[in-house]
Amino acid sequence: MKICKDGRIWGQNNKEAGRHLGIATGKSGYRKRGTASEVKEGQDNPFYGKTHTMETRVKMSEAKKGTKHPRWKGGISSRQSKLRGQIEFKLWRGTVFARDNWTCQECGKQGGRLNAHHLKPFAQYPELRFAIDNGTTLCYECHKKTENYGGSVK
């Protein structure tokens, strides 16, 4: 227990210390401003009970797709995305992992966040995309160090 110069007991926490020193620590008079949807809830909302027509829904959806979306960052091409989603790719990946006993071939780490790495680039050698001999198992850290990581061939 601490005693102040003026003989009072020093508070146990910051709030008490602030009061002791005469400093306002709370946010008195502070009111959080609500978002527009919080301000007009339920029947107070002018759109309450109404719905958009199917035509309007489609227009709203199309207005924010692809490059028109505010968070669009370029992304993966749809062709490449479809190829990686195919059952052949998933089988190739699983076979490469099983062949390598779920172990990174660079550092020897077993399990964890593994990647099936194409030895010859995926985009440049379409005939070798699903060839088991063109794949190896790498952990995420070792995969980032490869020269053709992320589709960039150096």
* Residue 41 lies inside a defined structural domain of this protein: no
* Residue 124 lies inside a defined structural domain of this protein: yes
How many domains are contained in the chain? Answer: 1
Split at pLDDT 50, 70, 90, the class of 46 is confident
**CA angle, residues 74, 79, 84, in degrees to nearest 5:** 100
* Residue 82 lies inside a defined structural domain of this protein: no
* Residue 130 lies inside a defined structural domain of this protein: yes
* Residue 76 lies inside a defined structural domain of this protein: no
* Residue 35 lies inside a defined structural domain of this protein: no
Instruction: Return the SS3 of 58.
Output: helix
pLDDT for the residue 117: 92
pLDDT digits (tens, 9 = 90+) for 136-153: 999 999 999 988 777 666
Q: Which domain holds residue 122?
A: 87-151
* Residue 65 lies inside a defined structural domain of this protein: no
Rounded mean pLDDT of 92-100? 95
pLDDT for the residue 96: 96
pLDDT for the residue 61: 94
* Residue 40 lies inside a defined structural domain of this protein: no
pLDDT digits (tens, 9 = 90+) for 64-83: 998 898 888 777 666 777 77
Is 54 exposed, middle or buried, given 0-12, 13-18 or 19+ CB atoms closer than 10 A?
exposed
